[in-house]
Structure 1
């Protein structure tokens, strides 16, 4: 089975669903309720699985959740084995994913730069464009008969 085959994509999707549910219903108090499984990559031989997880919160929440997931890996793996009929049950490796937090920080930086640019333009007396010139309001056109 190739890495990007349709079969492998379906397996990744199903494993992601099962792992997400298992994390949601795990009783480990260290695992944050704001934990999301972002992506899953099952190896073509079905022996290993990388699970990218994101946790909304501070660094302490992330560390506790990482410890909790490492501790609950056996339970989550057994849940995958029970719910999915696979030749092998993959060994799970959890990886903390900071892409959402990175995107939020980048968005804040862009907003700050835009605000400073708008202030500088206003100070110089230039017009500040808030909407794109490419936007066309469909209601402003009347139908010709």
Structure 2
């Protein structure tokens, strides 16, 4: 059976990547300028690290992290509360046929990097890594 290019396992298309990056920049600008009329949201400094667009470009998932990594639940709650206003701001700044539905998730990339560093710092892991170098 032939597999479509959008089947599971294939990566995002160039269009998805381009639209995701445009939405990321637009969201970052809107949040930095404080264009949203929510004092709680404007009090937080939120980094938008990545936006992934669905193949049909109707859903955009933004991976965000508040400055310093704290207040994660408050940040997600504030973003979800202002989702419609953020969507309007994105559609105003971009020229897409449809304004994508925005979803917000915490970016856990830095947490995973910290866990990886901790693993590599463990004595038994360092010992195993050094043993592998000696055998070559």
Paired residues of 2:28 and 2:48 also in contact (CA < 8 A): yes
Q: Report how many aligned residue pairs link the two structures.
A: 116
Residue 60 of structure 2 corresponds to which residue in structure 1?
49
| Cα displacement (A) at 1:53 | 1.1
Residue 70 of structure 1 corresponds to which residue in structure 2?
80
Calculate the TM-score normalised by the size of structure 1: 0.65
Give the alignment's Cα RMSD to 1 decimal. Answer: 2.9
Q: 2:16 aligns with which of 8, 30, 52?
A: 8
Q: Does 1:21 align with 2:21?
A: no
Calculate the TM-score normalised by the size of structure 2: 0.69
| Cα displacement (A) at 1:108 | 4.4
- CA distance in structure 2 between the aligned counterparts of 1:57 and 1:95, rounded to whole angstroms: 13
For structure 2, the 5+ residue unaligned runs are 128-136
Q: Which runs of 4+ in 1 moved over 6 A?
A: none
* 3-state DSSP of counterpart to 2:40: coil
Q: 1:92 aligns with which of 94, 102, 114?
A: 102
- Which one is further off, 69-78 or 87-96? 69-78
Between Structure 1 and Structure 2, the one with more helix by share is 2
- CA distance in structure 2 between the aligned counterparts of 1:8 and 1:25, rounded to whole angstroms: 26
Residue 133 of structure 2 corresponds to which residue in structure 1?
none
